[in-house]
Chain A
Amino acid sequence: MTTGQTLLLATLLLPAIGALAAAGLPARLDRAGRVTGTVFAAATFGVTLLFRPPDAAPATDARIAPWTELDLPWAPALSLRFHLGIDGISYPLVVLTALLTMLCCAYCLWRVPEPGRGRLLVALLLVLQVGIQGVFLSLDLVLFFVFFEVVLLPMYAVIAVWGGPDRRRAARKFVLYTLFGSVLLLVGVFVVVSASGTGDLVALGDPAVRPMTAGMQLLAFVLLAVAFAVKSPLWPLHTWLPAAHTEAPTVGSVILAGVLLKMGTYGLLRVAVGVAPDGAARSAPVLAILATAAIIAGGLICLAQTELKRLIAYSSVGHMGFVLLGIATLTATGLQAALIGNIAHGIVTGLLFFIAGGIKDRLHTGELDRLGGLRETAPALSGVLAYAAIASLGLPGLAGFWGEAFAVVAAFERGGPLWITLGVLAAVGAALAAAYFLRLLRRVTHGPATSAVAGLGAHARLGPGELVAWSPLVVLTLALGILPPLVLSYSADPVAALAEVFGR
């Protein structure tokens, strides 16, 4: 077994073991359990940092050229292989997942939402990590589906147990709606498998493999696209998101927005587009139109939102719209934009939800009317909030910019009235984003302090957990804004290989 394969296994095994360890500890050792979980999360993060691309790109005409892969038989009768691999498209997402999980676990060392039992929360976070990283790492369609399903119930539990007042309903909505998505994924996966005779993503990406008929490709792509659209989420399949985000505990929201949604966009890029390019090419305009609609709708709805976390949730809808628009263009530019937009959204929105959680923990309300003048009593908090909001509205020089701007560029590259129009609308949507985020800042940080805010007192300062969990994200936001190659350099080659299929 090579080092790379060991790393791949470790990426999935470490969190799993950590989860068992954390959950296994008795109640009186709750803190110890949290520490254990955090240690394992940190170890996993360390492992993910060890992945390195090969010096020489392997000579293959397959679209996917993993840096390292691990391919074991599992259940041939179900056309299921335990086929893991990592490449430039999945690597940044894996690292992001490991990072956010680690930060969330660390955050739980200091702050455990009601009703306590933090070690179980940490354990669930680690289980989530297994599922999500599994999705990013699997090179087998069925395995991909299995990991996709693994995520559902832990997230349900996180919301339903540690969530806000209306958590049960939100959790049910989340789990049922996203299950609806993943059963379509199941059907789609086996449409592909039975049509092309293999579930191996690498093989499916290989021109040598018998390609599916156009009709089959369209069917497969539509099924897969809907499945991933629910997860991403793509307007109008998004309505589970606000409810879930509003009720979920802070760490839940962070993971949800930070990496869970990415499973959708990654799946669309790697699986849907990867295995059914013709289908993708044929349905790209529809996808693009919906994505643009999501951008505009998300912006408008945010303008009328009155609750902090709900607003951020809807802003996610808008941002994911940009990512999906980028994918829909099927150009190298667009795909690159989508990838970096994905990562940026993960970092920035994760930070935003951390901050929103911090505010709600302090003031016990997210209603904008009851907030205000935060910069008077809690300058640091409001400062970070302003920073994150500005990053999220796509200010050049910060992480959010590249994905959004170059989604528009990609649309212009496609040319033609439709794509130009979509690009223009997307740019307008970006302006809307500025509008609602400034509205948010004006309501929350500026103006006179409301009674709730004024009574903040000593709580105003940032706690150690917050400093630990937030600072990396703050730094990354700026770093990615100034040095996009942090992501792009890895994804350039695979994206080029993929875009080649479309002659772009």
Chain B
Amino acid sequence: MRIDQVALLPTYVAAATAVLALLADLVVPGRRGAVAGVTALGMLGTIATAITVGQGLDDGGRRTAFCLGPDQCSLVFDPATAIVAGVFAALALGALALSVPLLRTGEVPAGEYCFLLACSMTGAVVLGGARDLITLVVALETLTLPLYLLVGLRRGNRAGGAAAVTFFVVSVVSTAVALLGAALVFTATGGVHFADIAGAQVAPAAEPLLKVGVILLLTGLAFKVAAVPAHAWAPATYDGAPLPVAAYLSTASKLGGVVALLLVGVSAARPVLGTSGLTLAVLAVLSMTVGNLVALRQRRMVRLLAWSSVAQAGYLLAPLGALLAAGGRTGPAVELLVAATVAYAFFYVVLEFSAFGALVAVRGAGDGGEVADYRGLARRSPWLTAVLVISLTGLAGLPPGLAGLFAKVAVVRSLLGGDAVWLAVVVALNAVIGLAYYVRAAATFFGAPPEGPALEGAALEGAALEGATPEGAATDGASPELVKPRVSWPVAVAVAVAAVVAVLVGFAPELIMRAAGTFS
């Protein structure tokens, strides 16, 4: 069997990045900047190769590797794969940039940190092209396993340690469930390649095995997107982890989960789309409702974002839930739904990342802190506030940032295209609950700092641009960790890029919609 090495290039580069990071750490010990720089270069290289290889594809064409038959491939490199790989690498790069303040503190060993991040990226890069269960599982684990360590890497940090164990335990348990599902699917169809599973003539006796297998597989994978019921780890882990890692978890790791769910729930489960549709619908409804309701009551910033991301997972899965409706299983409808899911994922990733990025810019190496700590932020750093507001309102699905709005539009549109009106209504109503806490958080930025009750109500950018009291009083009145932070340039760049992209795709949603169209 011939192996198209070109298809593997991005994977090689990614893996090489990991190794380079380790070597660099050995060669120039103590030079954090160097290590990070090398890793960053590697990641950039990954992006570049992904794009170039993607460009190299003649339209509609694809490169394959490790094939037994025409469709029995472990790896397929098509435009979608290229896009996913590029996005993953970009997110890893962004996370790295956000990590700079953390690395500066020396709380974490730079070399290992970069290495683990690169490993995770490698897994993610492969994930996009995986076309059989084994590769899928291994890739997912390669994506996830380094994250346990990244979460708990900070020395002597109790929260970090606890968070790491929580993450790990829930992860292995749900992995076990997913593997059980895989085993049942294999038992029923005798195939591990998606093509085989999708094309297998399943004996009526084995039909239930296949269905239950798919259900368990999806439920197990739901852990990756932190969907109810496999969601409880997210708040604890996000809050315990360093902010950059939390950012990576809530973007890259989630995106990985989405890709996996798409591959399994749609590509592989063709014969039993109804089953996977219903499963995903249940997961979606539970996730968005529970996530939004609990988020209403959060006091800590990161936990708020964590719960909101649980809800977002619900919106992510909602379009696939429409597969349960007969109207959603027709060819074009399925493409519509898949495209909507991917589009929402991209919109979400951009907004979520810029939100976390802004947090890092505000808090430096510290943790997210209480929501109340952000009062008066607008007065101190208007630009960061603007980014946060755009991201949060975007996640809520409202202007000024049109990205979030179009994300919701895409989801609802696909749902109605798939005859799942009720699901669309559930999504819509959840959006209302969601706005309640996003807007509350956004409003606190404009509130006066806790020590300045005299400024109660003095709000909005104005507060930032001039301040109702002399500037001195304002900063004195501020809670200490909010004294205007000196944002290190990588963070600044990362946030700026993310914000720009968020605004850009708001005005040109077609970019994302076209990218999403390449899937399935």
Contacts and interface: CB of A to CB of B under 8 A. Distances in A.
A, B: real partners: yes
Interface of A: 23, 26-28, 74-80, 114-117, 120, 142, 145-146, 149-150, 152-153, 156-157, 160-161, 167-168, 172, 175-176, 179-180, 183-184, 186-187, 190-191, 193-194, 219
Nearest to B508: A75
Interface stretch (B129-137, B170-178, B201-209, B404-412): B404-412
B425 A187 contact: yes
Which residue, of B413, B446, B513, has the highest number of chain A Cβ atoms within 10 A? B413
A219 B402 CA distance: 27
A459 B431 CA distance: 47
Contact of B405 (A28, A146, A190): A146
Contacts of B509: 75, 77-78, 80
A186 B435 contact: no
Contact of A161 (B399, B410, B460, B510): B460
B271 interface: no
Nearest to A195: B416
B457 interface: yes
B500 interface: no
B510 A183 contact: no
A285 B388 CA distance: 47
27 contacts: A27-B465, A75-B509, A75-B510, A75-B513, A77-B343, A77-B509, A77-B510, A80-B409, A80-B509, A115-B462, A117-B462, A120-B461, A149-B398, A150-B399, A153-B400, A156-B439, A160-B443, A176-B435, A179-B435, A183-B431, A186-B409, A190-B409, A190-B413, A190-B416, A190-B424, A193-B416, A194-B417
Contact of A27 (B432, B443, B457, B462): B462
| Among B343, B416, B425, B513, residue most surrounded by chain A Cβ atoms (within 10 Å) | B416
Given A77-B513, A186-B428, A190-B416, 18 more contacts: A27-B465, A28-B466, A75-B513, A77-B343, A77-B516, A80-B509, A115-B468, A116-B468, A161-B446, A172-B440, A175-B439, A176-B432, A180-B429, A183-B429, A183-B431, A184-B425, A186-B412, A193-B413
B411 to A, nearest CB: 10
Contacts of A117: 460, 462, 466
A115 to B, nearest CB: 5
A145 B402 CA distance: 12
B398 A153 contact: yes
Contacts of A75: 406, 508-510, 513
A180 B429 CA distance: 7
B155 interface: no
A147 to B, nearest CB: 9
Contacts of A157: 460
Interface in B394-449: 398-400, 402, 405-406, 408-410, 412-413, 416-417, 421, 424-425, 428-429, 431-432, 435-436, 439-440, 443, 446
Q: Per DSSP, are chain A's interface residues mostly helix, strand or loop, or mixed?
A: helix
A179 to B, nearest CB: 5
A372 to B, nearest CB: 30
Nearest to B406: A78
A120 B462 CA distance: 7
A114 to B, nearest CB: 8
Contacts of B516: 77
A184 B510 contact: no
A488 B46 CA distance: 65
A153 B399 contact: yes
Given A77-B510, A153-B399, A168-B443, A194 B413 contact: yes
A116 B400 CA distance: 23
A187 B509 CA distance: 19
Nearest to A167: B457
Contacts of A187: 412, 416, 421, 424-425, 428
A111 B400 CA distance: 27
A79 B460 contact: no
Nearest to B443: A160
B478 to A, nearest CB: 18
B103 interface: no
B275 interface: no
Interface size class of B (residues with CB under 8 A): 35 or more
Contacts of B408: 186
Interface in B339-369: 339, 343
B393 interface: yes
A184 B428 contact: yes
A191 B424 CA distance: 10
B450 interface: no
Nearest to B415: A190
A333 to B, nearest CB: 35
Given A77-B510, A183-B428, A193-B413, A152 B398 contact: yes
Contacts of B286: none
B459 interface: yes
Contacts of B435: 175-176, 179
Contacts of A152: 398-399
A179 B409 contact: no
Contacts of B452: none
B259 to A, nearest CB: 20
A33 to B, nearest CB: 10
B436 A78 contact: no
A153 B429 CA distance: 18
B146 interface: no
Contacts of B446: 161
A219 B436 contact: no
B432 A183 contact: yes
B458 interface: yes
A182 B378 CA distance: 29
Contact of B421 (A26, A175, A219): A219
B31 interface: no
A76 B510 contact: yes
Contact of B514 (A23, A77, A175): A77
Contact of B466 (A27, A74, A145, A167): A27
A186 B405 CA distance: 10
Contacts of B400: 153
B413 A78 contact: yes
Contact of B416 (A145, A184, A194): A194
A142 B409 contact: yes
Contacts of B412: 186-187, 190
B517 interface: yes
